[in-house]
């Protein structure tokens, strides 16, 4: 009797813990909640933005794929375009201390100013917690969350998985496509793609 | 012609050794310069392949298996990468991050190249992000065909603009413009002895078609693909590399179970795989052996047990599975 109760408890523990450990958010799932510190020092809770579209952009300033989108001005253009339409845009920095792309809050603020970047906030994620919640593999991986808090896109920023600046023009931007389709009540036609880029520099 | 080729190669080699020596000397004390001269020359003598166009953390060289381009024949070219320790480049499916080398060819009239023959890759990376690629020394084979009508007098210049991403902890994009000048002849091809070892090794590294005696099948099982193999012998371990991106979770461990005459391998489906796939194509690496190309239809979990045709059903010796 005692033993079977123990087993039952064990099963419950395993069943509850398993999804937390392995199942990262994918398209169609509820976006995992997180609380993060922005480079401005502000505390950001994803839950506070329910009712709005939210874009997550994985960032590493040393990654040449990220460089393609910032040096061409493409990322800043997207940030301005979509935040101008009420979309919340979080740049997420999941590089661990000592790894490429890790920055302090003030370094990130200088970078944002220098690049004229315009996300709603840059979230510092040195433990990789948010990165792992969303199974972010690369920078610049992109995630779009709808106002109901459901992941409607996860993957590449566009369909040109290269580091060439010239490839920005003429590329199909999956983030804009997902936002446009969702905002006009259409199903997102390409909800998941391979997120090209540099691996996210987690602590391991 | 041929002799001159040898001679030129020799002098270029010597040139690169001197440059290497000079670089070392600049960063060292003069006291050691005599020692360095000897030490610097040794690797050049030991390795006849010290030359190559620089790419980030390595070199790249375009080589040909034969001494000349042959009208009406296909000869093999090789893109030979030599990388510094710890740095890697990518397979045709790079896995979770990165990208494969891309080549733009500049070819003489009447000459064309086929697809790259990719050597069997390795799993590279950490627990959560796994890439497929190559470290150290790797050569990509490319067949080059000359039409029968190609002019067989003079020289043909083969150019290749290669874009390559070289990564370790960080990634550096590189670009190299390579060229190779070969005579164009109608005589049968004669191998270039200098490159014989390189091409022999490259051929060994390219996956071979799976033997026809193998029975391989793939079953779609909800979150996973179950890859069954009956090779008619004990297999200690296998690893699978899918040619197409976004079919399986690259970083997920591939659960391997030994079965009579073969194995079962569980491949977790990629989150990006939103539609069923009809075939699973890739390289199966058998421990202690080499890579084999497989291209197998994917059957539904139930159907697979009834279907006996096509050699794709888990074979009789895999009873443990079919009885489930």
Determine the pLDDT at residue B288: 82
Task: Show which residues on chain B lie within 8 Å of chain A, measured between beta carbons.
Answer: 96-99, 102, 125-129, 131, 163, 165, 167, 169-173, 245-246, 251, 271-272, 274
pLDDT higher than 70, residue B258: yes
Determine the pLDDT at residue B91: 98
Verify that B135 and B277 share a domain, yes or no: no
Residue A137 and residue B126: Cβ atoms within 8 Å? no
Determine the pLDDT at residue A8: 53
Determine the pLDDT at residue B302: 61
Q: Is residue A195 part of a domain?
A: yes
Helix B33-46 crosses helix B2-26 at what angle (to 10 degrees)?
A: 150
Q: Is residue A168 part of a domain?
A: yes
Residue A25: CB atoms within 10 A of its CB come to: 19
Q: Is residue A19 part of a domain?
A: no
CB-based contact A159:B246 (threshold 8 Å): no
Lowest mean pLDDT among A17-26, B123-132, B154-163, B301-310: B301-310
How far apart CA B77 and CA B144 sit, in angstroms, is 7
Verify that B98 and B143 share a domain, yes or no: yes
CB contacts < 8 Å between A and B, how many? Answer: 69
Select from B126, B173, B271 the Cβ nearest to the Cβ of A64. B173
Q: Is residue A91 part of a domain?
A: yes
User: Which chain B residue's Cα is nearest to A63?
Assistant: B171
Select from B99, B127, B172 the Cβ nearest to the Cβ of A196. B99
For chain B, what is the mean pLDDT?
82
The residue segments making up the domain with residue A178 are 25-199
Determine the pLDDT at residue A3: 53
Q: Is residue A9 part of a domain?
A: no
Chain B residues within 8 A of A136 when measuring between CB atoms: none
Q: What is the CATH number of the domain that holds B172?
A: 2.60.40.1250
Q: Is residue A14 part of a domain?
A: no
Count of structural domains, chain A: 1
Verify that B171 and B296 share a domain, yes or no: no
Express each pLDDT in A125-137 by its tens digit. Answer: 999 999 999 999 9
Q: Is residue A92 part of a domain?
A: yes
The pLDDT of B211-231, averaged and rounded, is 96
Select from B97, B245, B246 the Cβ nearest to the Cβ of A198. B97
Determine the pLDDT at residue B271: 92
pLDDT higher than 80, residue B177: yes
Q: Does A70 touch chain B (CB under 8 A)?
A: no
Chain A residues within 8 A of B170 when measuring between CB atoms: 62-63, 100, 198
Verify that B87 and B177 share a domain, yes or no: yes
- Burial (CB count within 10 angstroms: exposed 0-12, middle 13-18, buried 19+), residue B206: middle
The residue segments making up the domain with residue B90 are 52-205
How far apart CA B294 and CA B267 sit, in angstroms, is 15
Verify that B86 and B199 share a domain, yes or no: yes
pLDDT higher than 70, residue B179: yes
Express each pLDDT in B18-72 by its tens digit. Answer: 333 333 333 443 434 444 444 444 333 333 444 799 999 999 999 999 999 999 9
Q: What is the CATH number of the domain that holds A46?
A: 3.40.30.10
User: What single string gives the DSSP state of each residue in B63-88?
Assistant: EESBSSEETT-EEEEEEEEEE-TT-E
pLDDT band at B153 (very low <50, low <70, confident <90, very high): confident
Determine the pLDDT at residue B129: 94
Chain A residues within 8 A of B163 when measuring between CB atoms: 162, 164
Chain B residues within 8 A of A204 when measuring between CB atoms: 126-128
Distance from CA of A91 to the nearest CA of B (A): 19
Express each pLDDT in A62-82 by its tens digit. Answer: 999 999 999 999 999 999 999
Determine the residue among B97, B132, B161, B255 to mutate to test chain A binding: the one whose Cβ has the most chain A Cβ atoms within 10 Å. Answer: B97
C-alpha atoms less than 13 angstroms from C-alpha of A88 in its C-beta half-sphere: 20
Verify that B145 and B228 share a domain, yes or no: no
Chain B residues within 8 A of A61 when measuring between CB atoms: none
C-alpha atoms less than 13 angstroms from C-alpha of B273 in its C-beta half-sphere: 21
Select from A26, A64, A65 the Cβ nearest to the Cβ of B271. A26
Chain A residues within 8 A of B167 when measuring between CB atoms: 198-199
Verify that B86 and B160 share a domain, yes or no: yes
Verify that B58 and B185 share a domain, yes or no: yes
How far apart CA B9 and CA B14 sit, in angstroms, is 9
Verify that B61 and B193 share a domain, yes or no: yes
The pLDDT of B206-229, averaged and rounded, is 96
Residue B272 and residue A100: Cβ atoms within 8 Å? no
Verify that B191 and B248 share a domain, yes or no: no
Determine the pLDDT at residue A135: 94
pLDDT band at B242 (very low <50, low <70, confident <90, very high): very high
Percent helix, strand and coil across chain A, each to the nearest 5: 35, 20, 45
The pLDDT of A156-164, averaged and rounded, is 97
pLDDT higher than 90, residue B307: no
The pLDDT of B126-142, averaged and rounded, is 94
Express each pLDDT in A3-14 by its tens digit. Answer: 555 555 544 444
Pairing of strands B291-300, B208-209: parallel
pLDDT band at A25 (very low <50, low <70, confident <90, very high): confident
User: Which chain A residue's Cα is nearest to B248?
Assistant: A194
Complex prediction ipTM: 0.85
Given B174, B205, B236, the domain boundary residue is: B205
Which of B156, B159, B152 minimizes the C-alpha distance to B177? B159
Which of A164, A75, A156, A100 minimizes the C-alpha distance to B173? A164
CA dist A169 to A162, B10, B270, B302, Å? 12, 45, 29, 47
User: Which chain A residue's Cα is nearest to B165?
Assistant: A163
Given B177, B205, B233, the domain boundary residue is: B205
Buried-state track B158-197, b at ≥16 Cβ within 10 A, e below 16: bebebbbbbbbebbbbbebebebebbbbeeebeebeebee
Verify that B60 and B190 share a domain, yes or no: yes
Determine the residue among A22, A100, A137 to mutate to test chain B binding: the one whose Cβ has the most chain B Cβ atoms within 10 Å. Answer: A137
Count of structural domains, chain B: 3
Distance from CA of A70 to the nearest CA of B (A): 16
Chain A residues within 8 A of B173 when measuring between CB atoms: 64, 163
DSSP state of B95: E
Determine the pLDDT at residue A17: 41
């Amino acid at each position: 009797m005692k033993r079977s109760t123990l087993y039952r408890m064990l099963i419950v523990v395993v069943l509850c813990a398993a999804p937390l450990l392995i199942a990262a958010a994918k398209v169609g799932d509820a976006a995992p909640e997180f609380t993060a510190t922005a480079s401005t020092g502000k505390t950001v809770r994803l839950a506070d933005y329910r009712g709005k579209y939210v874009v997550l952009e994985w960032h590493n300033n040393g990654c040449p794929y990220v460089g393609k989108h910032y040096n061409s001005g493409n990322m800043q253009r997207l940030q301005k375009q979509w935040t101008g339409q009420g979309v919340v845009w979080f740049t997420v920095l999941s590089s661990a201390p000592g790894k490429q792309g890790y920055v302090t809050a003030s370094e990130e603020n200088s970078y944002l100013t220098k690049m004229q970047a315009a996300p709603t906030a840059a979230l510092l994620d040195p433990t990789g917690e948010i990165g792992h919640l969303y199974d972010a593999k690369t920078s610049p991986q992109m995630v779009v969350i709808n106002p109901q808090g459901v992941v409607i896109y996860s993957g590449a920023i566009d369909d040109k998985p290269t580091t060439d600046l010239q490839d920005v023009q003429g590329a199909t931007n999956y983030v804009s496509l997902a936002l446009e389709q969702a905002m006009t009540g259409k199903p997102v036609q390409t909800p998941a793609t391979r997120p090209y880029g540099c691996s996210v520099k987690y602590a391991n | 012609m041929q002799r001159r080729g040898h001679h030129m190669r020799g002098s270029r080699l010597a040139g690169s050794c001197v440059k290497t020596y000079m670089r070392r000397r600049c960063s060292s004390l003069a006291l050691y310069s005599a020692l360095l001269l000897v030490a610097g020359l040794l690797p050049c003598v030991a390795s006849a392949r010290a030359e190559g166009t620089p790419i980030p953390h390595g070199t790249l060289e375009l080589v040909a298996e034969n001494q000349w381009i042959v009208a009406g024949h296909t000869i093999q070219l090789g893109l030979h990468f030599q990388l510094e320790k710890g740095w890697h480049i990518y397979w045709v499916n790079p896995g979770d991050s990165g990208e494969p080398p891309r080549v733009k060819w500049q070819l003489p009239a009447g000459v064309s190249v086929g697809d790259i023959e990719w050597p069997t890759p390795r799993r590279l990376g950490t627990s959560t992000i796994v890439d497929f690629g190559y470290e150290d020394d790797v050569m990509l084979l490319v067949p080059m065909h000359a039409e029968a009508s190609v002019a067989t007098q003079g020289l043909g210049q083969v150019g290749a603009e290669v874009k390559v991403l070289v990564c370790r902890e960080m990634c550096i994009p590189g670009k190299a413009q390579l060229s190779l000048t070969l005579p164009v002849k109608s005589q049968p091809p004669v191998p270039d002895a200098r490159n014989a070892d390189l091409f022999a090794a490259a051929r060994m590294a390219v996956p071979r078609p799976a033997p026809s005696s193998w029975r391989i099948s793939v079953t779609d099982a909800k979150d996973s693909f179950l890859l069954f193999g009956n090779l008619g012998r004990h297999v200690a371990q296998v690893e699978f590399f899918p040619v197409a991106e976004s079919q399986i979770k690259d970083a997920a461990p591939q659960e391997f179970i030994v079965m009579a005459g073969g194995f079962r391998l569980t491949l977790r489906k990629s989150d990006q795989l939103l539609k069923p796939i009809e075939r699973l194509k890739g390289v199966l690496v058998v421990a202690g052996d080499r890579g084999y190309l497989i291209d197998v239809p994917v059957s539904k979990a139930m159907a697979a047990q009834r279907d006996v045709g096509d050699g794709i059903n888990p074979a009789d010796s895999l009873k443990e599975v079919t009885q489930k």
